[in-house]
Amino acid sequence: MQNAAYRPSDVEIQQLMQIISLPGYQILQRIMMGEIDQFSLDLLNVDPSSDRYETEVRAKHSIALAAGMFYQRLQERVAGYANRLKEKDGPPILPDPTEEIFG
């Protein structure tokens, strides 16, 4: 729990933005979402005739919920870091001369 208040530096956020821009990052996101879906399927597939049905449902529900919350928080943090970096950078000092041509 020592890293609960961790705040990356601007350089680390820039490195994170580089990772996000890689084509493989979208694949990683799909894999993570698939795993989260699998936790939900595991919950739905608990055998209702099991003697431990209620215990298994509670446990699998907690796991599925925690996995979803982890992914959501991760995405929100990454978006927040990206926005923070954009706000710090502010508008460009000089307008982009190619904007008129290509914009």
Q: What is the mean pLDDT of the chain?
A: 87
Computed over its alpha carbons, how large is the radius of gyration of the chain?
Answer: 21
**Tens digits of residue pLDDT in 5-53:** 888 998 999 999 999 999 999 999 999 999 999 999 999 999 999 999 9
34 residue type, one letter: G
Cβ–Cβ < 8 Å for 72, 58: no
**Residue 54 — pLDDT band, cuts 50, 70, 90?**
very high
Query: DSSP H helical segments within 1-103, as ranges?
Result: 10-21, 23-44, 53-89, 99-102
What 3-state DSSP class applies to 4? coil
**Residue 86 — pLDDT band, cuts 50, 70, 90?**
confident
Task: Quote the pLDDT of residue 103.
Answer: 57
Cβ–Cβ < 8 Å for 17, 10: no
